[in-house]
Amino acid sequence: MDSHSQVGEGAIWDERAGVLWWLDIPAGLLHRFDPASGENTSQEFGEPVGCLALRETGGMVLACKSGFWLYDWDSGRREPLSDPEAHLPENRFNDGTTDARGRFWAGTMKDGGEPEPMGRFYRLDTDFNVTPWKDGIYTTNGQAFSPDGTIMYYSDSNAAVRTVWAADYDLDTGTPHGERVFFDTRSVKGRPDGGTVDADGCYWMAGVSGGQVYRITPDGKLDMTIDVPVERPSKPMFGGPDLKTLYLTSIGAGADLAAQPQAGGLFAITGTGAQGVPQWRFGG
**Residues in the annotated binding site for substrate:** 92, 94
The binding site comprises 9, 92, 94, 141, 193
Instruction: For residues 59 and 86, give the distance between their C-alpha atoms in angstroms, rounded to a whole number.
Output: 25
Phi, psi for 258 (deg, rounded to 5) = -70, -35
Residue 193 is among the residues annotated as catalytic for this protein: yes
Instruction: For residues 283 and 27, give the distance between their C-alpha atoms in angstroms, rounded to a whole number.
Output: 27
User: Residues 270, 31, 62, 283: is their CA dihedral positive or negative?
Assistant: negative
**Which of these is catalytic: 74, 193, 198, 219?**
193
Nearest Cα to 20, choosing from 281, 259, 238, 254? 238
The binding site for a divalent metal cation comprises 9, 141, 193
157 with 170: CB under 8 angstroms?
Answer: no
Instruction: For residues 278 and 188, give the distance between their C-alpha atoms in angstroms, rounded to a whole number.
Output: 28
User: Residues 77, 82, 84, 87: is their CA dihedral positive or negative?
Assistant: positive
Which residues are catalytic, by number? 193
